[in-house]
Structure 1
Amino acid sequence: MTIESLKTKEELRNLIDAYAYLSDEKKISEVVALFTEDLVYKVYIGDFLAANLSGRENMKKDFNGHASEVKTYFTLNGQHTVQINGDTATGVSYSQIKMIRETEGKDVLSDYSVKYLDNYAFQNGKWLIQERIGYFVMTEVRPINN
């Protein structure tokens, strides 16, 4: 393993961590900037395709709409492995995502276990996400006490 490949792996890890941090803070414009202009973003919940977006403007609109319905996000990233091939790379990462929404005056926690399959591209001196497919493997929804 070369110093260059270690540096690239660290940059890619920082990229997916930035996605989590910025998403949790609802900084949608900054989240969208982590993607290439020609991005593809899909979410599967079981076999159901729940989101299928392309392009930054579509992502920004969709993410802003979703964020407006969520009181609090909390993301914890786990494993992240990548395969680097010059100015492109692929990756697999795992996350725990918690969301609090208000339903009928009560806070409801949605707890998601997610596997992401990513394609990355090195453009203009930085790594960006070109395609992200999220598989929501497990979901638990329950009311919480404040």
Structure 2
Amino acid sequence: MSLENSQAKAELKELVDTFSNLADEKNIPGQMHLFTPDTKVQVYMGDDLLFDISGTKQLEEVFTSFTANVKRSFHMNGQQVVKIDGDTATGIAYCQVKLVSEEDGKEVITDSSIIYHDEYVRQNGTWLIKTRISHFTINDKRSIQS
């Protein structure tokens, strides 16, 4: 593996991790800087397409609405495999997400296992997410015990 390839893989890992860190901070505007302006994002819950998003403007609106009731969150990224071809790349990344919200006066936690299928592009020396297909493969929602 070339030094350039190793550096690109490290930068792509940092891109995916930064997305998750900003999600935990509820810094949605900051997340938008990680995507190309013409990004395409699809979100599947199981086999059902929940969101089909075009562009960062719509993406910011959907993320803001989706997280409006989230009190706290925790993202933990796992394995990531990428294939680099010059200034483009494809990758699969795994993420475990816990979202805490309030329902009927009680805190509930939604624990999700997500697989991201990404397409990346390097623009002006910076890697960005061009396309992301998110598969929420496991979702567990329950009350938090005090």
TM-score by length of 1: 0.98
Runs of 4+ in structure 1 off by over 3 angstroms are none
> For residues 61-117 of structure 1, what are the alpha-carbon distances to aligned partners after superposition, in whole Å with 9 as ceiling and x for unaligned?
111112211111100000000000011000001010000010000000000011110
Instruction: State the SS of the aligned residue for 2:60.
Output: helix
Number of the residue aligned with 1:141: 141
Number of the residue aligned with 1:58: 58
Number of the residue aligned with 1:116: 116
> For residues 14-46 of structure 1, what are the alpha-carbon distances to aligned partners after superposition, in whole Å with 9 as ceiling and x for unaligned?
000000000110000110110001101111111
Give percent identity, aligned residues only: 42
TM-score by length of 2: 0.98
User: Unmatched 5+ residue regions in structure 2?
Assistant: none
Q: What is the aligned length?
A: 146
Q: How far, CA to CA, are the matches of 1:20 and 1:78 in structure 2?
A: 11
Q: How far, CA to CA, are the matches of 2:47 and 2:103 in structure 1?
A: 26
Number of the residue aligned with 1:33: 33
Number of the residue aligned with 1:73: 73
User: Unmatched 5+ residue regions in structure 1?
Assistant: none
Quote the offset at 1:145 in angstroms. 2.3
Q: How far, CA to CA, are the matches of 2:52 and 2:103 in structure 1?
A: 26
Q: How far, CA to CA, are the matches of 1:99 and 1:80 in structure 2?
A: 22
What do you get for the CA RMSD once the two structures are aligned?
A: 0.7
Quote the offset at 1:9 in angstroms. 0.1
Which residues of 2 match residues 36-51 of structure 1 at below 5 A? 36-51=36-51
Q: How far, CA to CA, are the matches of 2:90 and 2:65 in structure 1?
A: 28
Number of the residue aligned with 1:132: 132
